[in-house]
Amino acid sequence: MLDKLIPITQGLNRRFSDGGHPFQIATRLLEECGELAKEINHFEGQGIKRQKYGRPDKGHLAKEVQDVIGAALQIALHYQIMDELDITIEQSYQRLKEEGWIDESPPHTA
C-alpha cells in the first residue's frame, strides 16, 4: 500500500507546489482529519447526518483515510524521514508480534 501512496503523495506535491511549507502541510493534515471525522460521524449515524446525506459510502470513507495518510506522508517526505519511518514501523510491528497481538497466519476467506 505505501509503495503506491508515496508516489501519489510525491505527485500531488509536484501538482500543488504551493503546499510544501510544513505549516501548510500540517494545516492540510488537520483539515483532512476533520473530513475523516465527518465521515466517521456519518457512519456512526450521529445527529442528522444520515437524514442529511443519506447512506454512508465506504468509498468516501476510504478516500478520507487515504487523504489523512497522504498528508502525514507529505510531512515525512518533507523532513526526509522515510528511513526512520520504516524503522519505527518495523519496531512497532515486531514488538506487537512478540507480545502476541499480531497473528501472521493467512486471513480466512469465506
pLDDT at position 78: 92
Mean pLDDT (the chain, rounded): 88
> In which residue are the cell numbers 493467512 written?
106
* Burial category of 12 from C-beta neighbours within 10 Å (exposed 0-12, middle 13-18, buried 19 and up): middle
pLDDT class of 109 with cuts at 50, 70, 90: low
* CA 45 centroid distance within chain: 22
Per-residue pLDDT tens for 31-54? 999 999 999 999 998 767 778 888
What is the full DSSP assignment across 48-90? THHHHH-S--HHHHHHHHHHHHHHHHHHHHHTT-HHHHHHHHH
